[in-house]
Structure 1
Amino acid sequence: MISTYRGYVSATKDMASTLAGIAKQATVKSDQQYYDTHIGKVKNVDEFLNDYKLYSYAMKAYGLEDMAYAKAFMKKVLTSDLSNASSFANKLTDSRYRQFAAAFNFGGASKNQSAQSDSQKTDTIGLYEQSFANETTLAKKESKFYDTWIDKVSNVDDIVNSSRMTDYILRAHGLSPDNISKTFLKSVLTSDVNDPNSFVNTASNFSSASAQSSASVQATYKLIASQFGFNADGTLSGATAQTAQQKQDMISRYDSMVPNLLTPSAATSNDDYYRQAITKVQSLSEITGDNRLFSYIKTAFNLDPKLTPVQFNLVFTNSDYAALTGMTDMVAHFQFASDGTLPAGQLAQTPQAIDDISIKYLKQAKGAKQALFTDAEKHYKTAVGEIKTIADFFAANDIKSKDLPTVEDMALRAFGIGKNEVSRDQLRKILESDPYDSKSYVNSLKDSRFVELAKAYNFDSKGNLRAPVTALSQTSINSLISAYSKSKTFGLTGEMRDKAVKDAKDAATEFNKSIVKIKTVDDLLADKKLTEFILVANNIDPKSVDKATLKKAFTADAEDPKGFLNTQAGQRFKAMVNVFNFDAKGNLTTAKIEAGQNKGARLATNDLYLHQTLESQQGDSNEGVRLALYFQRKAPQVNSVYDIMSDPALYNVIKTTYSLPASMSNMDVTRQAAMLEKLFPVKDLHDAGKVDKLLKRFSAVFDAANGGSTASAASAILTRGAGIGMSADLMLSIAQLKSR
Structure 2
Amino acid sequence: MISTYLGYVTATKDMASTLARIAKQAAVKGDQQYYDTHIGKVKNVDEFLSDYKLYSYAMKAYGLEDMTYAKAFMKKVLTSDLSDTSSFANKLTDSRYRQFAAAFNFGSKSKNQAAQSDTQKSDTIGLYEQSFADETTLAKKESKFYDTWIDKVSNVDDIVNNTRMRDYVLRAHGINPDHISKTFLKSVLTSDINDPNSFVNTAGNFSSAATQATYKLIASQFNFNADGTLSAATAQTAQQKAGMISRYDSMVPSLLTPTAATSNDDYYRQAITEVTSLNEITGDNRLFSYIKAAFGLSSKLTPAQFNLAFTNSDYAAITGMADMVSHFNFASDGSLPAGQTAQTAQAIDDISTKYLTKAKDAKQALFKDAESHYKTAVGGIKTIEDFFAANDKKNKDLPTIEDMALRAFGIDRNEVSRDQLRKILESDPYDSKSYVNSLKDERFVELAKAFNFDSKGNLRDPVVALSQTSINSFISAYSKAKTFGLTGEMRDKAVKDAKDAATEFSKSIAKIENVEELLSDKKLTEFILVANNIDPKTVDKNALKKAFAADPEDAKGFLNTPAGQQFKAMVNVFNFDAKGNLTTAKIESGQNKGARLATNDLYLHQSLETQEGASNEGVRLALYFQRKASQVNSVYDIMSDPALYNVIKTTYSLPTSMSNMDVTRQAKMLEKLFPIKDLHDAGKVDHLLKRFSAVYDAANGVNTASPASAILTRGSGIGMSADLMLSIAQLRSR
**TM-score (normalised: structure 2):** 0.93
Task: Say which SS state the counterpart of residue 178 (structure 1) adopts.
Answer: helix
Report whether the alignment pairs 1:656 with 2:645.
no
Corresponding residue number in structure 2 for 1:125? 125
Residue from 211, 214, 239 that aligns with 2:233: 239
Once the two structures are TM-superposed, the CA of residue 268 in structure 1 deviates from its matched residue by 2.0
Please give the residue correspondences for 1:390-469 in structure 2 after superposition, counting only pairs within 5 Å: 390-396=384-390, 401-469=395-463
Once the two structures are TM-superposed, the CA of residue 281 in structure 1 deviates from its matched residue by 2.7
Once the two structures are TM-superposed, the CA of residue 30 in structure 1 deviates from its matched residue by 1.5
Corresponding residue number in structure 1 for 2:672? 678
Please give the residue correspondences for 1:517-528 in structure 2 after superposition, counting only pairs within 5 Å: 517-528=511-522
Residue from 623, 630, 638 that aligns with 1:636: 630
Q: Distance in 2 between matches of 1:697 and 1:112?
A: 48
Q: Distance in 1 between matches of 2:648 and 2:563?
A: 27
Deviates more, 1:71-80 or 1:331-340: 331-340
Corresponding residue number in structure 2 for 1:530? 524
Corresponding residue number in structure 2 for 1:737? none
Runs of at least 5 residues in structure 1 that lack an aligned partner in the other structure: 711-740
Q: Distance in 2 between matches of 1:368 and 1:104?
A: 49
Residues 424-451 of structure 1 show CA distances to partners (whole Å, capped at 9, x for unaligned) of 1111111111111111111111111111
CA contact (8 A) 1:109 1:475 kept: no
Please give the residue correspondences for 1:606-621 in structure 2 after superposition, counting only pairs within 5 Å: 606-621=600-615
Residue from 354, 375, 379 that aligns with 1:385: 379
Instruction: Give the letter aligned to residue 307 of structure 1.
Output: L
CA contact (8 A) 2:3 2:703 kept: no
CA contact (8 A) 1:19 1:614 kept: yes
Residues 199-220 of structure 1 show CA distances to partners (whole Å, capped at 9, x for unaligned) of 11222222xx2xxxx2211111
Residues 657-699 of structure 1 show CA distances to partners (whole Å, capped at 9, x for unaligned) of 2222222222222222222222222112111112112212222
Instruction: Give the letter aligned to residue 530 of structure 1.
Output: L
CA contact (8 A) 1:114 1:458 kept: yes
Report whether the alignment pairs 1:64 with 2:64.
yes
CA spacing shift, 1:228–1:15, aligned 2, 3 Å? same
Corresponding residue number in structure 2 for 1:353? 347
Deviates more, 1:483-492 or 1:229-238: 483-492
Q: Distance in 2 between matches of 1:13 and 1:537?
A: 25
Residue from 588, 592, 603 that aligns with 1:598: 592
Q: Distance in 2 between matches of 1:688 and 1:602?
A: 25
Residues 296-337 of structure 1 show CA distances to partners (whole Å, capped at 9, x for unaligned) of 111111112122223323333444443333333323333444
Corresponding residue number in structure 1 for 2:2? 2
Q: Distance in 2 between matches of 1:61 and 1:76?
A: 19
Residues 435-482 of structure 1 show CA distances to partners (whole Å, capped at 9, x for unaligned) of 111111111111111111111111111111111111111111111111
CA contact (8 A) 1:399 1:406 kept: no
Q: Distance in 2 between matches of 1:127 and 1:303?
A: 27
Instruction: Give the letter aligned to residue 549 of structure 1.
Output: A
Runs of at least 5 residues in structure 2 that lack an aligned partner in the other structure: 705-734
Q: Distance in 2 between matches of 1:636 and 1:141?
A: 61
Q: Distance in 2 between matches of 1:332 and 1:461?
A: 56
Instruction: Give the letter aligned to residue 634 of structure 1.
Output: K
Q: Distance in 2 between matches of 1:321 and 1:291?
A: 23
Report whether the alignment pairs 1:23 with 2:23.
yes
Once the two structures are TM-superposed, the CA of residue 709 in structure 1 deviates from its matched residue by 7.8
Q: Distance in 2 between matches of 1:605 and 1:462?
A: 30
Q: Distance in 2 between matches of 1:572 and 1:399?
A: 56
Once the two structures are TM-superposed, the CA of residue 188 in structure 1 deviates from its matched residue by 0.7
Instruction: Give the letter aligned to residue 287 of structure 1.
Output: I
Residues 123-164 of structure 1 show CA distances to partners (whole Å, capped at 9, x for unaligned) of 111111111111112111211221222222221112112222
Corresponding residue number in structure 2 for 1:484? 478
Residue from 274, 284, 293 that aligns with 1:280: 274
Q: Distance in 1 between matches of 2:86 and 2:197?
A: 84
Once the two structures are TM-superposed, the CA of residue 380 in structure 1 deviates from its matched residue by 1.7
Once the two structures are TM-superposed, the CA of residue 10 in structure 1 deviates from its matched residue by 1.4
Once the two structures are TM-superposed, the CA of residue 397 in structure 1 deviates from its matched residue by 5.8
Corresponding residue number in structure 2 for 1:148? 148
Report whether the alignment pairs 1:36 with 2:30.
no
Once the two structures are TM-superposed, the CA of residue 111 in structure 1 deviates from its matched residue by 5.0
Please give the residue correspondences for 1:219-258 in structure 2 after superposition, counting only pairs within 5 Å: 219-258=213-252
CA contact (8 A) 1:229 1:242 kept: yes
CA contact (8 A) 1:656 1:698 kept: yes
Report whether the alignment pairs 1:109 with 2:109.
yes
Q: Distance in 1 between matches of 2:300 and 2:433?
A: 43
CA contact (8 A) 2:373 2:392 kept: no
Corresponding residue number in structure 2 for 1:668? 662
Corresponding residue number in structure 1 for 2:566? 572
Matched residues, percent identical?
A: 86
Residues 225-277 of structure 1 show CA distances to partners (whole Å, capped at 9, x for unaligned) of 01111000001112221112211111111110111122222212212222222
Instruction: Give the letter aligned to residue 94 of structure 2.
Output: D
CA contact (8 A) 1:318 1:338 kept: yes
Deviates more, 1:345-354 or 1:183-192: 345-354
Once the two structures are TM-superposed, the CA of residue 654 in structure 1 deviates from its matched residue by 1.7
CA contact (8 A) 2:465 2:513 kept: yes
Alignment: residue pair count: 704
Q: Distance in 2 between matches of 1:392 and 1:98?
A: 36
CA contact (8 A) 2:377 2:392 kept: no
Q: Distance in 2 between matches of 1:349 and 1:690?
A: 92
Corresponding residue number in structure 2 for 1:552? 546
Corresponding residue number in structure 1 for 2:187? 187
Task: Say which SS state the counterpart of residue 101 (structure 2) adopts.
Answer: helix
Q: Distance in 1 between matches of 2:71 and 2:307?
A: 77
CA contact (8 A) 1:300 1:357 kept: yes
CA contact (8 A) 1:300 1:358 kept: yes
Task: Say which SS state the counterpart of residue 420 (structure 1) adopts.
Answer: helix
Q: Distance in 2 between matches of 1:607 and 1:320?
A: 79
Please give the residue correspondences for 1:193-204 in structure 2 after superposition, counting only pairs within 5 Å: 193-204=193-204
Q: Distance in 2 between matches of 1:514 and 1:100?
A: 27
CA contact (8 A) 1:657 1:697 kept: yes
Q: Distance in 2 between matches of 1:111 and 1:194?
A: 69
Instruction: Give the letter aligned to residue 96 of structure 2.
Output: R
Please give the residue correspondences for 1:504-515 in structure 2 after superposition, counting only pairs within 5 Å: 504-515=498-509
Instruction: Give the letter aligned to residue 431 of structure 1.
Output: L
Q: Distance in 2 between matches of 1:176 and 1:667?
A: 87
Corresponding residue number in structure 2 for 1:91? 91
CA spacing shift, 1:605–1:83, aligned 2, 3 Å? same
Report whether the alignment pairs 1:500 with 2:494.
yes
Q: Distance in 1 between matches of 2:686 and 2:410?
A: 58
Q: Distance in 2 between matches of 1:102 and 1:4?
A: 34
**TM-score (normalised: structure 1):** 0.92
CA contact (8 A) 2:188 2:199 kept: yes
CA contact (8 A) 1:83 1:109 kept: no
CA contact (8 A) 2:384 2:457 kept: yes
Q: Distance in 2 between matches of 1:62 and 1:325?
A: 69
Corresponding residue number in structure 1 for 2:325? 331
Q: Distance in 2 between matches of 1:621 and 1:204?
A: 102
CA contact (8 A) 2:213 2:280 kept: yes
